[in-house]
Homo-oligomer: A and B are copies of this chain.
Amino acid sequence: MRHQSHDSEIINNLDDLYVYTKEKLQDKSGVITIHFADRPHTYTKNDVVGNCLQEWLPEWFQHIGVTLTPTEETQKFPDFVAHFEGGSYDVEVKAWNVNASPAFDIANFYSFIDTTYEHPEKLNAVYFILGYEPRREDDLERGFVVRNVYMKRIWQITGPKHKHGISLQVKRGQPYALRPIGFHRHPENAFTDPVAFICAVHNAYKQFYSAEVKTICTPDEWKSCLLKYAQNNLM
């Protein structure tokens, strides 16, 4: 299946999609507005711009000719599956304000454990990440500029230099969400490969493992399942 975009670019695989997206979106500005009750408002704050971009990008991917299948359940990881000649890929879309550290949730820790144990191939999901900059308040046309477009795997946006051996948000002694490192400034702080990432998740899982938390596998079961997948498919 060939994908023909509106201006005749050809996108046959993930790398094509990344190159095309970067070319078309980087350094482009946009505006998000609401008109309601005679009170227009332009959004520049982080939550709204990020959420809107995360919804806009898949719509744009389809507009340029990429076949997408949304995941049945919203909230579930990943956002959708992108289909190309050479295969299908799980894709997540994220956006964050580049003036701050990336602080989006990559995945709820235990959801990630359960999901990847059932579907180890989701370890290889692709993250399309937009780094946007809100315009300054004194700009006439307020809005945002997309400064960077990234395509990354999970082990390229997480890293070991953290208290629990992985960039993990912990609340009240319980693991919450895998969070990104500052991969845009220091990609060298990320994991070197998928196996290093798997071992770090395994160690964190062991630290927090308790009978009170219901998951579908033990830390060792998770590690052996994921290592097997990685060694057969990613190395």
A60 to B37, CA, bound (A): 9
**Cβ-defined contact, A214 with B48, below 8 A:** no
- Report the interface size for chain A: residues with CB under 8 A from the other chain: 37
Q: Which of B41, B48, B59, B60 contacts A51 (CB 8 A)?
A: B48
Q: Is the CB of B52 within 8 A of A37?
A: no
Contact assessment for A56 and B39 in the assembled complex, using a CB-CB cutoff below 8 Å: yes
Chain A contact residues, majority secondary structure: mixed
A173 and B34 within 8 A (CB): no
State whether the Cβ of A174 lies closer than 8 Å to any Cβ in chain B.
yes
State whether A52 touches B28 (Cβ < 8 A): no
Complex A-B: 12 CB contacts under 8 Å: A28-B37, A29-B36, A32-B33, A32-B34, A33-B33, A39-B56, A43-B52, A43-B55, A48-B51, A110-B171, A173-B212, A173-B214
A-B contacts besides A36-B56, A39-B56, 18 pairs, CB < 8 Å: A25-B37, A32-B33, A33-B33, A34-B53, A34-B56, A36-B53, A37-B60, A39-B60, A41-B56, A47-B51, A48-B51, A48-B52, A172-B215, A173-B212, A173-B213, A174-B174, A174-B212, A174-B213
Q: Give 7 nearest A-B pairs by CB, closest first.
A: A30-B36, A172-B214, A32-B34, A173-B214, A28-B37, A172-B213, A31-B35
Residues of A in contact with B (beta carbons under 8 Å apart): 24-25, 28-37, 39, 41, 43, 45, 47-48, 51-53, 55-56, 59-60, 63, 110, 146, 171-174, 210, 212-215
